[in-house]
Every structure is written in structure tokens, then in C-alpha cells.
Chains A and B, each alone.
Chain A
Amino acid sequence: MSEELLRIEDLHVAFSTRRGMVEAVRGVSLNVGAGEMLGLVGESGSGKSVTGFATTRLLDAAGRVTGGKILFRGQDVTKLRGDDLRHLQGAAMSMIFQNPRAALNPIRAIGLQIADAILTHKKISKDAARAEALELLRAVQIRDPEARMNAYPHELSGGMCQRVMIAIAISCNPALLIADEPTTGLDVTTQKVVMDLLADIAAARGMATILITHDLGLAARYCRRIAVMERGRIVEEASPRTLFSTPQHAYTKRLVAASPTATSRIEDLVTEEERERYSAVVSKPRLEPAHGTPPLLEVRKLVKRFDQGSAAVADFSMTMAGGESVGLVGESGSGKSTTSRMICRLIDPSEGDIVFDGQSIGHVASRDFHRSPLRKNIQMVFQDPNESLNPRFTAFDCIAHPLMRLDGMRAGDALRKRVEECADRVGLPLDLLPRFPHQLSGGQKARVGIARAIACRPRLLVLDEPTAALDVSVQAVVLQLLDRLRRENDIALLFVSHDLNVVRMLCDRTIVLRNGGIVEQGDSRALFDNPKTDYTRKLVEAIPHIETGEVLAAAL
């Protein structure tokens, strides 16, 4: 390893909460060499971001370093105060964050925000800082940088915002950059572009980088060395190859197994005990629908125009049989969410028709559709389980509500039984039912969302990125659950996602959307293994791949 830049020794960080002190980091030791890119991987709550924030001294007021040292160029960062600290922050060490749009001040032009950083650390004129900011925008490859100098964050795409953040972070040539989930929430193709840019800049400037991510594949692609964190500790540190071929720690094994790859099947993703209930279902042969059965869902030439602009969705047609799973993929802005919402009858199509089980529902106004008897047959699972559950409803209320609204059930034993049955089907422990969303974990909330959706025994479930906000291990369980429900109850799944690995596993067929039109469709595996259009190929290539295969299955 080259010259050592950062050494973290036995770091402890604790947060004071209402329930007393909670240790988030318990004894982390790490070192980073000059110019090295280190991956710090773990699931939410593992303490990886807290370690990053402690290093850059950006911990929340409630968080405190309770033990250990963070030596940056031999100087203990945790002891710095006043001006010494400010010379460190943004100058010697800088950070970029998840959700770049929120990380930029919404009411300050981006040129100014970059210049702010320069002016804080260099004694130069405002004009000179502006000129430097312009150079930086060029360096992060923003098109038409002169015009963009005066743009505000809301006028830029997420990927652009992250480039601006990178520009701010590198403005004073730091020796160390900490990137906290820099591409989470960006499209796969944008992810690749942004990460490539970051890697190029780091290499060109000899900047050491700590890449904090939950995505093992991403870390494997860009880092030579990966440290895996679990519950505040580093459990394993190795090169990507070693990590994937011979993971040592049980947690790493689970994490590696749960990360979907190009070849994995749903049953590969979880451990033995979780697999049992699932295998019993999978092994049963599926009843093929009798020949000549009309499709469950038929969408004909659907068009959606917002205002007077160009069509967000143009000429979209598809059919789905009962119990079939279809993936809808594409970058943000491709119209996949708009399409799914039209099919759910949450928004009205401008043209075209939707036929569900032989009945045309495309012309029922979306605001009246809740009165349609078909409402309970088409249900939706939303992206963020945190945002889509009412914080004042208990898990029980959440699941009971559609039953009361759509099935006309009254509060009482019958309702309680139905709710408990739904909870049981999604594997939600019954003692969690009286809890409110903030008292549940991400995976439990996802289960509540699914239980709510299946409560009225729908025949079509539309899932809008249902696992995007979840950790990989939770995602694996949720995916398995969805697939089991589909097989057990013959529920058709329309799965909207940008995660192609997940779509490939879960969906029989996939439709690729771009700019509101269908680019390509067909059998999922064939489509991904052998994309016919450049666009699909670009999407497939952008997925971080993990070299795995049989070695991994053996490791479990």
C-alpha cells in the first residue's frame, strides 16, 4: 500500500436518544492509503455513514465520538477545533452525499455554491473564484457550463446535481473524499456515468476515496479493497475477488448471497431457514391457463400527455395473463411510473383503453374508480414504505382500512381474523399489528404495505419500485414473498423497477420503456442475455456485475 493517509483506530460513536445512549459505531479500525479507493459496505444501521461523518466531523449534534482516534496525516481529527477544523473541512477532506438534490441549497445558483467553497479556503477575488467554479463545472463534464453557472438545483437532473456536488467536493483539491452513497437513487446508466467520473477524477488528482455504499456490486467494481460493516463493527476486509469467492464472516456470506446478480434465482438470495416455506410453493407446478382464456389485463394504445407538452407515454400496449409477472423497466422519465399509475387508475389516460377481465376501465375517471367493484382487484404497492404508510395508522389499521372500504367489512372479529390472516401470509408477526410505522423496521413496513395491498385479494398487483428503499437482505425476503404470493394466489404482478437484476429474477416477461414508448419486450432472461436494442444493452451493461457463480452457492 502507498503512504498512509487516514487511520481510524478503535472508533466508537454514540448517539444520545430518548432511550439513552445508543452506540452506532463500536470499535472500527480502518486505514486508507493516499490515492486509494476503499469500499465501506454495509446495510442501513451498520454505522458506515456514521463512520464517514465522524471522520469529516459532520456528526449530528446528538452524536459524539466516545472513543478511539481518527488520524488524518497523523493528526487526530476528533480533537480539532475552530480554524483548524475549518481548514480540514472542505479543504483537506471533503464529502459528497446521498440525494444530491437535497444536498444543494435550493435557492442559491450552483456557480455561487461552488464559489462559496473556493472562497472559504482561498484568498482570491470573487471573479477568480467564479472562473475556478466554471473550470470545475467543465471538469465534471457538465454541458454548457457558462449557462449552468446561474442555474438552480431544481433545474438540473439528479445526476447533474451529483456532478455539481463532486465539483464542490474537489474544488480545493482535497486529499481524501468520502462519498456516502453517491449514486443511490440515480438511474443505473447515470450511476455508471457518475461513478466513472468520480473514479477518473480521483485517479487524476491522486485523491483517496472512501466509497460508502450498500451495494456490494458497486463497491466491487470500483474498489480494490472492501471493508464490510455490521452493527457498528467491521466484520471483514478483503479484495472484492476474495470477498465474493470466499467470504469468511457469516454476515458477508449473507450479504453476498442476497445481492442479486445476473445469474441468481430468487431462491438463491436467502438462507436455508427462510427458504423452506418458499421451496414448498415453488416446487408445485403452476397451472397453465386453459387455451383461449381471455387475458386478465389488456392495455390498448395508451397515451398520456401532461398539460400541452409532448406525450409522457405514447402508444403503450400490453397484455397480461392471470398470475403472470411482467417487468416494466427504463430510466427515470421513461414513463414507467406514469404507465403503472394509469393501469392502477390513479391517473387518467389521455387516449387509449384499459381492459381488465373483459371490462373496459380506461374511461372510468380515476377519481371515481374507487367506487368501481374492480378497485379491489387492482392494488398497488408503493416505493417507499416510510412515505406510503400513514404515520397515525397502526399496522392493523393500515391493513384493515381497505377491507372496510372495499369489502364493506365492519370492525369486529371477522375483520380481525382477515387482517391477521393477511399479516400471516406476508410473514408479519401478529404482535407487531398494534404498532405504528415508526416502530417498525423497513422490511416490516414493506410487509405491511404488501399485506394492505393483498388484503382484498386482488388479481393484479402493481408494484412501483417496491424494494428500492430496502436493504439487499430485506429486498431478498420481500422478493421471495412476492413470488410466493403470486404462485399461491395466482396474483398477476406488474413490477416497475430500474433494477434489472431484480426484474430478471421476478418477472417472466419484461418491457423496456424509453421516452414513453416501448423499445423492446420479451422473455426476461432472453431479453437481458441478448438485448436487441442499444438502449437495453446500455441498461444491462450499467448494472454493476459481481463475479460469482457456483463458488458462492458452495460457500453457503
Chain B
Amino acid sequence: MLSYILRRIVATLPVMAIVALFVFSLLYIAPGDPAVVIAGDQASPEDVERIRQSLGLDRPFLVQFGSWVWRILHGDLGTSIFTNLPVSAMIGQRLGPTLSLMIVTLLLTIVVAVPLGVVAAWKAGSLIDRVIMGFAVFGFSLPVFVVGYMLAYIFALELEWLPVQGYTPLTQGFWPWLENLILPAIALGCVYIALVARITRAAMLEVLQQDYIRTAKAKGLGQGGILFIHALKNAAVPIVTVIGIGIALLIGGAVVTESVFAIPGLGRLTIDAILRRDYPVIQGIVLLFSFVYVLVNLMIDVTYTLVDPRIRY
């Protein structure tokens, strides 16, 4: 098992290398002279030249790439053009809120979506099933910002149960931290919950038709035991896959959600960096997200082997 995980980690290295190359090339794929692009519309030729010098854009592409990778391997993501702060420090500052939002959303999704999917599959065709699946379609079709503003209006402005906007770090207490994350997590999780509930239902329906479920019934096992012990684990592979893929969805959704709820996270930083053409920051963030995604994929693959003894690599 350990050797398998090690092998998989080694196998992710080329993927990361390609991602790095792509992220670095962002600047060059964009049309025009990178230095001019960064400097913006109103820059004088002197400004452009200065930027070119400071970023080393006058050197050959591979040399630039080499030294960029070398710096990243030493933990140096470069310096923001706009704020002159180290990119790693800027990301570090914003990591907490985004990570909090994603984890709370992820937990909320699993806790809500999986049981809903299981119940829908168990009662397939019934009213409960149709209601759940109806909500799922609803969750799919509503954009995050619509749900976000609606939630904020109802629960924060009208009922005043929860704060409208903002973020409090976990260091200042669990409830203040969670309080600020509930509405954003629901808004962000809507699509995700719908997706996972649907997949859970489909995977469970498939499993519930299998002969071994009949065997479990023949043994006299109760309905709960059959659903959650015998069927859910068998249905886990597609569910885990979708939860993992959904993390990419969350990253995208976090950008919007953070804007709606004024959470000072990576999403906001990304938007700001793009608007300011702050390439070192954009590169750093994209690299981080890619890294997270590769890591999640690795975790999914490892989970497969834990869930299903037939999967061996």
C-alpha cells in the first residue's frame, strides 16, 4: 500500500512539471509583448523596459523557465508587480478563508447529499425520490450568486440570524468562524450537493439491483444495514470520483462566492490579480490550484483501493 502511494506520488511529478510549464507559458500565450501586457495601456516605453528588465523577460524562454522553476522549488513564487509583496506571503494570507470555505462546503455536501441520494435510491420512483431529484435539478440550475444573494437577503437581512458578509478566522473561536461560513457554504454547495446526490442515487440504484443485495436480504439483514453497510460502500467509487472532481467546481465557485460574501480569500485575490495583470500572482495561484487538484486526484485513487479490494495497481 505504502509503496503504491509512493509510486503514485512519483507519477504526479511529470504532471506537475507539465502544469508548471503551462502556467509559466500563460504570459507568453497571451497575445503581444508580455512586458507591454503587464505594464498596461498607459505605461511609457521606459516603464515597459524597466518591467522587462526586472522580470528578466529579455532572457531566452528556457532560461527564464529554468530559473522560475528553480525559485519555486525553493519556495519562492516571486514578487507581486502591483504590491511588491512576495506572492507566497499574499497567498498564505488568503489561504485560510478559502480553505475554510471549501472544507465546510465539502463536509456539508457529503453530510447532506449522500444520505439524500441513498434515500432517493431506496425509495426510487416514490414521492420522496421525486422531491429530492426535483431539488437537485433546482440546485443545478441556480447560479451561485443568485443563491448567495437570496440567502443573504433572507437569513441575514430579514431574519438577522447570520452575518451578511465577512470572515472571522478560526483563532477567534469556532462559532464566529462557522457563523460567517454557513451561508457561503450553502450557496457554493448547492450545485455540488445536487451533483453528488444524483450520482449517489444512480450508483446506489445500480448496486441495489445486484445479486449480493438479495443475499443480504436473504440473511435477514435490516434495511439500514443493507443500505449503509452493504450497498453504500459498493457504490462509493463513482461517488468519491464525483466528490473529487467537484473540488475543481468548488475552486471556480469560490471565486464568485467570496465576492458575494466579501470573504478575503484566494478567489478575491485571483480576480484582483487578473484585473491588475499581476502575472506572478496569477501564476502562483494557478500553480497552487493545480497542485491541490493533482493531490485530490491522488487521494481519490488511494481511496479506490481502500474501498474496493479488486482494484490493484
A contacts, CB < 8 Å to B: 56, 58, 86-91, 94-95, 97, 99, 102-109, 116-117, 120-121, 152, 154, 165, 168-169
Q: Is B210 in contact with A102, judged by CB distance below 8 angstroms?
A: yes
CB distance from A154 to the nearest CB of B (A): 5
* Given A105-B230, A107-B234, A108-B230: A58 touches B212 (CB 8 Å cut-off): no
Q: Is A104 in contact with B220, judged by CB distance below 8 angstroms?
A: no
CB distance from A89 to the nearest CB of B (A): 4
Listed residue (A58, A105, A152) with the most chain B CB atoms within 10 angstroms of its CB? A105
Q: List chain B residues, Cβ under 8 A from A97.
A: 211, 214-215
Q: Is B218 in contact with A89, judged by CB distance below 8 angstroms?
A: yes
For the complex, would chain A's binding face be called helix, strand, loop or mixed by DSSP majority? mixed
CB distance from B304 to the nearest CB of A (A): 11
How many A-B pairs have beta carbons closer than 8 Å: the answer is 72
Query: Which of A99, A104, A107 makes the CB contact (< 8 A) with B308?
Result: A107
Query: Which of B210, B211, B217 makes the CB contact (< 8 A) with A89?
Result: B217
Q: Is A94 in contact with B218, judged by CB distance below 8 angstroms?
A: yes
CB distance from B229 to the nearest CB of A (A): 8
Give CA–CA (A58, B226) in the complex, Å.
14
8 A–B contacts from the bound complex (CB under 8 Å): A56-B218, A58-B218, A89-B220, A91-B220, A102-B211, A104-B215, A107-B309, A121-B220
Q: Is A107 in contact with B310, judged by CB distance below 8 angstroms?
A: yes
* Given A102-B210, A103-B212: A58 touches B217 (CB 8 Å cut-off): yes
Indicate if B71 sits at the interface (CB-CB under 8 A): no
Please classify how large the interface on chain B is, using the bins under 10, 10 to 19, 20 to 34, 35 or more.
20 to 34
Give CA–CA (A58, B308) in the complex, Å.
27
Query: Which of A95, A105, A106 makes the CB contact (< 8 A) with B218?
Result: A95
CB distance from B204 to the nearest CB of A (A): 14
CB distance from B174 to the nearest CB of A (A): 36
Give CA–CA (A108, B210) in the complex, Å.
14
Q: List chain A residues, Cβ under 8 A from B307.
A: 107
4 nearest A-B pairs in the assembled complex, by CB-CB distance? A90-B220, A89-B220, A102-B211, A90-B219
Q: Is B234 in contact with A168, judged by CB distance below 8 angstroms?
A: no
For B236, the closest partner residue in chain A by CB is A107
Q: Is B221 in contact with A116, judged by CB distance below 8 angstroms?
A: yes
Query: Which of A87, A106, A109, A169 makes the CB contact (< 8 A) with B212?
Result: A106
Q: List chain A residues, Cβ under 8 A from B222.
A: 86, 120
Indicate if B130 sits at the interface (CB-CB under 8 A): no
Q: List chain A residues, Cβ under 8 A from B309.
A: 106-107, 109, 152, 154
Indicate if B7 sits at the interface (CB-CB under 8 A): no
Q: List chain B residues, Cβ under 8 A from A89.
A: 217-220
Give CA–CA (A168, B219) in the complex, Å.
8
Q: List chain A residues, Cβ under 8 A from B220.
A: 86-91, 117, 120-121
Give CA–CA (A170, B278) in the complex, Å.
71
Give CA–CA (A87, B220) in the complex, Å.
7
Q: List chain B residues, Cβ under 8 A from A117.
A: 219-220
Q: Which of B271-313 contact A (CB under 8 A)?
A: 307-310
Give CA–CA (A103, B218) in the complex, Å.
11
CB distance from A155 to the nearest CB of B (A): 8
Q: Is A120 in contact with B218, judged by CB distance below 8 angstroms?
A: no
Query: Which of A56, A58, A152 makes the CB contact (< 8 A) with B310?
Result: A152
For A56, the closest partner residue in chain B by CB is B218
Indicate if B59 sits at the interface (CB-CB under 8 A): no
CB distance from B82 to the nearest CB of A (A): 52
Q: Is A106 in contact with B214, judged by CB distance below 8 angstroms?
A: no
For A102, the closest partner residue in chain B by CB is B211
